[in-house]
Structure 1
Amino acid sequence: MFGGKMENRTLMSVLEAEEAYKKFLKSSRGIFGFNFKKKENLKSFSEIQKEENAYNSVNLGIKEVSLDKIVGSVEKYADFDKNFVPKNNVVKQRWINIYIGYTSDSMLPTVILYKIKDNYYVYDGNHRVSVAKFLNFATIEAQVEEFLPTKDTKDKVIYRENMIFEKETGLSDIFLLEPIKYKYLKEEIESYKNLLDKRKNENMNLKEVAKNWYINVFLPIKMMLSENEIIKNYEGNPDDVFLFF
């Protein structure tokens, strides 16, 4: 009796997954089910890596990554379009299995992403990302390896300094237009840490202090400046103004 119910439930899950797969494929087609435009592939990680000369990497650990920022793949970029809709039936069975896993709350492995600048590329988990896109997830948990551009244009130096600053402080919402300013800002946080260490008579974690500083020092001052005439005519990045104060 129970075996029959289990078989029926499994069959229903498979049928639901197959319908979801068909619906996802249909979503990439135009009016009347036809799309006369050539489907755009995902970006190839190796091509972007070569363009950016980004061969040195650092492990960022587990991150919640916006699905909108996943734009390519390391190996499967020809199997999906730019929205991770499958382009052929080779991936169908794997896609269906992943769909059943997601909708039955099964524990699926964390995807592995490679990052260059602000974009991510799937190393492992293309089907998981595809199904997550279909299910309208906003983010996905991922193990992230960041590859750093080494051609030293100013933009790339700023990007690299921003990445180092984020890794050391845990702060990801501060953007400065001069690379050296990240050093100055970190010194501000370290001074704040020394103050708190003395006040609490303990050696606090820098990332914990940075979060405290961001909420209680940086944001209030930034808000005050944004409401003041001082910043209204300033043409640069508002975050840079903080360092003048």
Structure 2
Amino acid sequence: MRRDTGFPVADAENDFLRARRRQVMSRLAAWLRREPDDVNIMLPFHEVVDALGMVSEKRLGLQSIRLDSIVGSVDRTRDFDRRFRPTSGRVRERWQRLALATRRGESVPPIEVYRIGELHFIIDGHHRVSVAHALGLSVIDAYVTQVITRVNAAGIRYRGDLIVKDYRRLFLDRVPLTGEARAAVLLSDPWDYAELGEHVEAWGFRLMQDTGTFLDRTEVARRWYADEYKPVVAMLRQADMIGDRTETEAYMWVAAERYRLMRTHRWDADVINTVREETRPHGRRG
């Protein structure tokens, strides 16, 4: 609990010491709980953009944003932790100066941020955000630039989450799904996106051989989703073979088992039943 002395200079000094103490205790608690190293690290903006794929950006002007939506930085990820507590005494002088100005009710300029989805990344204003957190504020004024990416930012919490997004972006380069299809095809293990990409490309190659026509990546992706993926997932759902997987994981599993057991690329009820019966003794998930 924050207890003010009534002397702004002393209170600003105490604000900084309290923020530093909380950062140290948080780091110690994370170590004791054996949490991942990135649990208290700010998300680096450029790594996020690289993982999601940059499309465009648009200036939105001055807005009021929630402090808890600010999760990363363009270039100051070492000076503050994920909750913008100072990680050393290096920023103390400027930090206390801003805390003092805020306590005295002086005007503090808006910060500048990039917005990706619902997440914000600081361009300028790290100390102001840190002070605002320490003083218990919930919102802050910011000049916002929206960044549009190929893959949405939903589900990103920690740096490790970027691996999944990066592999998904590479998969979508190979298999450019759109709309409903883009949202439906989901995998938990990032490495599986590479395997699925190869699977779809092989499917498209067989289709072109059968039809004697060339199809670009966009058309292969569209045909694969409509003619292959959706009907198979519907059969798996009807046969209660999804289990605790995502639909895409169930599709990949049964496709691999189908070829291993029957050496065929066709789909019908007999194929589904054969896979189900042959794999049941092995402890099918779900």
Q: Which letter does structure 2 place at the counterpart of 1:83? A: R
| Corresponding position: 1:61 with 2:61 | yes
Give unpaired runs (5+ residues) of structure 1.
1-11, 159-245
User: How far apart are the structure 1 equivalents of 2:30 and 2:120?
Assistant: 28
TM-score of the two chains, using structure 1 as the length reference = 0.54
Trace 1:74-113 onto structure 2 (pairs within 5 A).
74-113=74-113
Q: CA deviation at 1:121?
A: 0.3
Partner of 2:136: 136
Residue 23 of structure 1 corresponds to 18
- Tell me by how many angstroms 1:150 deviates: 3.1
Residues 154 and 28 from structure 1, CA distance in 2 versus in 1: closer, same or farther, beyond 3 angstroms? farther
Gaps of 5+ in 2: 1-6, 32-36, 152-175, 184-286
Structure 1 equivalent of residue 195 of structure 2: none
Q: CA RMSD in A?
A: 2.6
CA drift at 1:35:
4.3
What's the offset of the Cα at 1:29? 3.6
Structure-1 separation of matches of 2:82 and 2:53? 23
- Equivalent in the alignment of 1:213: none
CA distance in 2, matches of 1:154, 1:91: 46
Change (3 A) 1:98 1:55: farther
Q: Counterparts of 1:103 and 1:126 in 2: how far apart (Å)?
A: 18
Q: Contact (CA 8 Å) 1:73, 1:123: kept in 2 or not?
A: yes
Give secondary structure in 1 for the equivalent of 2:75.
coil
Q: Match for 1:24: what amino acid?
A: A
Match of 1:185 in 2: none
| Distance in 1 separating the partners of 2:98 and 2:61 | 23
Query: For each residue in 1:11-38, what CA deviation from the matched residue of structure 2 results, as whole angstroms up to 9, or x when unmatched?
Result: x43222111111111123439x954625
After TM superposition, list the pairs within 5 Å mapping 1:72-221 onto structure 2: 72-150=72-150, 154=179
2:44 aligns to what?
44
- Return closer, same or farther for 1:40/1:34 CA change in 2, 3 Å cut-off: closer
Q: Calculate percent identity across the aligned residue pairs.
A: 26
Return the letter of the residue paired with 2:85.
V
The question of whether the paired residues in 2 share the 8 Å contact of 1:49 and 1:55 is answered with no
Say which is worse superposed, 46-55 or 107-116, in terms of deviation. Answer: 46-55
The 2-side partners of 1:154 and 1:77 are apart by: 35
Whether the 8 Å CA contact 2:20–2:86 is kept in 1: the answer is: yes
* Counterpart AA for 1:132: A
Contact 1:85 1:130 in 2 (8 A): yes
Q: Partners in 2 of 1:35 and 1:102 — Cα distance?
A: 30
1:115: Cα distance to partner?
Answer: 0.7
